[in-house]
Amino acid sequence: MSGRGPTPRIDPDTTKGWFRRLLPVILARRSTFAVVLVTGLAGLALQVSVPMVLKRAVDRSLGELDGAAAFADLERHVILLVVMAVASFGLRFTYRYLLFGTACRIETDLRDAVYQHLTRLSFSFYDRVAAGEVISRANSDIRSIQLLLAFGPLAGLSAVSFLMAFGFMLSIHVPLALVTVSTMPFVFVLGQQLRDRVFPLSWVTQGRMAEVAMVVDENVNGTRVVKSFAAEFDQIALLARAADRLRWSATALIEARARFNPIIEALPRLGMALVLLYGGHLAIDGQVGVGSLLAFSGYVTMIAMPFRMFGFVLIQAQRAAASSMRIYEILDEEPAIVDRPGAREPAPDAPELGRVEFRNVVFGYPSASSVPPAGPGLEAEARPVLDGFDLVIEPGETVAIVGRTGCGKSTVARLLPRFYEVTSGAVLVDGVDVRDRTLDGLRRTVSQVPDESFLFSESLHDNVAFGRPDASRSDVEAAARIARADQFIGELTDGYDEVVGERGYTLSGGQRQRISLARTVLTDPRVLVLDDATSAIDVQTEEAIHRGLVELMADRTTIVIAHRLSTINLADRVVLMEDGRVVADGTHADLLATEPRYAAILTQTDPVGTD
């Protein structure tokens, strides 16, 4: 984040209303809001005083003074009105500028808070929440709150102007003032009815906007899959159905606004007509002066403004209420994986550095239907993927894990850096239970090259240096040479400064894997996990990469999740998995001679899947 200090947080008390929970974020800008309040009230005081100055000028020039005195007095009042207009402009400009700027800063605070919280959430959250849903809440929903914070205070100041204007009207003529506001109770009743209709519709509309965003996001990210199956028509139909559902709720929302807003805005104008009718009779009878009637006309226009804003702000408030609750659903989500109190890192000279141990580990992925989760590590689970998994890897040893798709190989790699919490048993790295270590320290110790290589839309240098942003170009080039990525990078127009497309799709699958491998090599982890890291690379390039990896793996613990015999040959020892547990352990030659299941796996094509 930027150097703006800590990001304000919402109130964690879920029993409070949505606005009370938002108050800490708003109060973090209290000094600016105080200036807005002072300048806004001062500007309103000047604005509301204008009709009274006008009344005095007209009454004095028409009745109390004659000739040159009347003209001189009128001149002084005109100068006073000009000064008041200039001062009012300055004050109104100041409070509007500060108000809208502060609303944008609060919007930024909310985005920072949501994004920071998203980075803390565990993999189990992303397993069950669609990316489009998250993006919608972090964008359009926060925008709804920003609009309310920008226009809500304006409506509040307008309400103050109504009270001030009404006070002045009472001081001029009480019955005429009461006639002026006679339509306002009806405005209040209609506003309540509008609120009751708008809130549920706003909630549904925001949810359906997220549904449309999710469909678009999935189709943009999965466009290669869509096109490869010629499924464009089906996906367009899917989007059309989502858009139709959004259109229905949005139309119902517009219909509610169209039914009530015109009446809410018309009622004050009816009050103006009554003022002209009744006030005209009073002026004809001589009970009020022309200046008083002119002042009342100005005040009627002034008190109509809050009611013109009332409908808009009321609807925006309902949208903001619905949006805030959707945002709170994210912010109230507790990470399933967090640092324990007293989490520690092993000493730099600890004897077990680089040692990896799985002790009777049982684990099953959280069910997608478990929303919200029962608690950290307690989500509803399907059949265990790992069931009594035991394995010890000594420091500096290279172990290949082999097994059929679905036996749990990749799950072993995901438990090591504590992406998920074991159901029972324990995982130890460097002789310490991973639950007793800090996440940051653990994930710097254990680094892996996943089977699916993800690259950012940045330069190749930045992609390789992702884990070490301060790495020099020479360090990046050295890592690329080990991963055998330097040759194809050198053939690119901009070399290491070449910006790759989204997810790195401007590169081939093998090139992406080599960049991903170089990224991991650069972090120099104590425990290295290669999860089918060369599956998309041709045999000749793989052999060259392996020559570089032999040197890299010499002084570090390495786990190789493998399907190819060439990759298995990198290992000192081979572990055969079946049904979530180790069923055989030994050298490649020993297993090939004594374990028929191992030989069967090596002699058949077993596509790579998600284990």
Q: Is 430 left (phi over 0), alpha (psi -120 to 50) or beta?
A: left
* Distance, CA of 521 to CA of 515 (rounded, Å): 10
- Residue 391 CA to its chain's centroid (Å): 39
Q: Give the H/E segment covering residue 272.
A: helix 232-284
**Residue 233: closest CA among 212, 219, 253, 214:** 219
Q: What is the pLDDT of residue 583?
A: 92
Dump pLDDT digits (tens) for 374-433: 344 444 445 688 999 999 999 989 899 998 888 888 899 899 999 999 999 999 999 899
Q: What angle do CA 455, 456, 459 make, to 5 degrees?
A: 100
Q: How many residues does the chain have?
A: 611
Cis peptide before 372 (omega within 30 of 0): yes
Q: What is the pLDDT of residue 577?
A: 92
Q: What would the two tokens of residue 557 be?
A: 């613990």
* Distance, CA of 116 to CA of 8 (rounded, Å): 11
Beta strands 432-433; 573-578: pairing state? unpaired
Q: Is 525 left (phi over 0), alpha (psi -120 to 50) or beta?
A: beta
* Distance, CA of 146 to CA of 40 (rounded, Å): 19
* Distance, CA of 83 to CA of 72 (rounded, Å): 17
For 495, which DSSP code?
A: G
Phi, psi of 572, rounded to the nearest 5 degrees: -80, -30
CA–CA distances in Å: residue 143 to residues 2, 103, 211, 326, 551 = 20, 10, 17, 12, 52
* Distance, CA of 531 to CA of 559 (rounded, Å): 8
Taking the chain (611 residues) in consecutive chunks of 10 residues, what is each chunk's mean pLDDT? 62 87 88 89 87 79 66 79 88 89 88 87 80 76 86 83 84 84 75 72 76 74 66 81 85 80 74 78 77 78 70 77 86 87 84 89 72 40 80 91 87 91 92 91 87 82 90 91 86 88 74 86 88 65 68 80 78 90 90 88 56 48
**Residue 363: closest CA among 383, 344, 337:** 383
- The residues pairing with 558 across neighbouring beta strands, listed in sequence order, are 398, 528
Q: What is the pLDDT of residue 3?
A: 46
Cβ-proximal residues to 504 (8 Å cutoff; 6+ apart), any chain:
453, 454, 455, 456, 463, 511, 512, 515
Q: Assess contact for 167 and 212: CB atoms under 8 A.
A: no
Strand order in the sheet with 424-429: 386-393, 356-363, 424-429, 432-433
What distance, in Å, lies between the first and last C-alpha atoms of the chain?
35
Q: Can you list the domains of the chain with their CATH numbers?
A: 18-331 (1.20.1560.10), 356-452+525-603 (3.40.50.300)
Expressed in percent and rounded to 5, the helix, strand and coil fractions of the chain are: 65, 10, 25
Three-class SS state of 529: strand
Phi, psi of 437, rounded to the nearest 5 degrees: -105, 160
* Distance, CA of 304 to CA of 271 (rounded, Å): 9
SS (H, E, C) 534-557: CCCCCHHHHHHHHHHHHHHHHHCE
Residue 375 has a CB neighbour count (10 Å cut-off) of 9
Q: Assess contact for 55 and 298: CB atoms under 8 A.
A: no
